[in-house]
Structure 1
Amino acid sequence: MNIDFARARETMVEQQVRPWDVLDARVLETIATLPREAFVPQAVRSLAYADTELPLGHGETMMKPVLEGRTLQSLLPQAHESVLEIGTGSGYLTACLAHLCREVVSLEQHADLADAARARLAAQCIANADVVVADAFAWTTDRSFDAICITAAVERVPARFTDWLKPGGRLFVVRGRSPAMEAVLVHRDVNALRTDSLFETDLSYLAGAAPAPAFIL
């Protein structure tokens, strides 16, 4: 099957991403430029621009393009900023973040996914993203970041994640219980955290952040 990926990318931007109120020029340029198909597993490459989550292995998935667009627009990394990504997955959102900011540190708990993401980033000549094999709930660092992007859902936002924010920094995450989840942007103000509700969605949970199973009698 011969697919015109450039045309598919243009259609995705105009028919999926823009209509979901993703209007920031830098974000749209990033999505319109980066070849999403280069980050999609070969088995599902024909679906690279479809309005659906895509399987990556280990129970992980690649977010829908519209949600990737809203994530980038909500976080809106600037050219001078450092970003922490929790959940590298395919490396596509990592690449988008790297296009928008100075530096990305991305955590991925599965070594094979991390290796594949590194190879894809290198193939696109993206040198300002560092993929680290680590469990976000065990990883430690003395660094803090301007922005944090969590690519899977949590029931509640763990304090260890917001502790990594610089003063004035912000964190994007989808929180709650499926299917009634909300995307939020958490801001670290001088003396407190402030949370803005963004939109409703549904997303697979980050490993270790899902609610405990409920027992039904």
Structure 2
Amino acid sequence: MITVYKDNKNSDPVVLPIAKWASWQQQGEQAASPDVSFMELSIRRKLGLLTKMCLHVANECAGYDPHLRVVFASRHGDLARTTGMLQEIVAAQPLSPTAFSMAVLNASTGVYSMQAKNIWPSTAISAGEHTFAMGLLEAALQWQSQPEQAVLYLYAEDTPPAFYRTDDAGTFVPHAVGILLSDATPLCKVKLAMQAAATTASPALLPMSLAWVQSMQQQQAAAWQGEGRTWQWEFQHAAH
């Protein structure tokens, strides 16, 4: 169940059934890459780490389902590729059409949709520190509007290039999360709440996406805070 609070007032609850979920995270400084061997070699050569992570968790959650609606969220998108193009512009070098097409925020969903031959709508979202939660909320509302059709939520984040690093950049290790919303065979149901947070409270040590993964692995309620909002979630029943 998802319940959103605005100015401490409750909205109507939405049942959020999680049929399947998956995650991938780079460990330490290793150069390991997520498995995307299911993609054609000609396509794999064009993919950056962000898109590979996204496609990996999408395949783990849904395979090549051509009937899904897809919501993708990323705070920074493929910032490494975008930064490279900006540097080429400064150096008066021609831009690669492939690099440009793969740098837009919805590139990952585009590749996935073509591979799955999926013609249903997809949505791409970026919302600062709350990107993971806002993307999840968008996926939940899309599912609520048409519960007979599953919705695949994908979140991916790469470490920003050194040029853009901030004090919290170290928390954004390369990682991705996939969540399939469907009431056909739900593994668990989650109740999520959001409310205004005190400005004096300490910020979260992890991005919400990684806090979510930890709680899913442990099946324990958790909370996350950032930019004036607190998100809390708990399980209605455990996944197996």
Q: Tell me whether the two structures share a fold, i.e. TM-score over 0.5.
A: no
Question: What TM-score, normalized to structure 2?
Answer: 0.34
Question: What TM-score, normalized to structure 1?
Answer: 0.36
**Relative CO higher for 1 or 2, CA cutoff 8 Å, sep ≥ 6?**
2
Q: Based on CA coordinates, which of the two structures has the bigger radius of gyration? A: 2
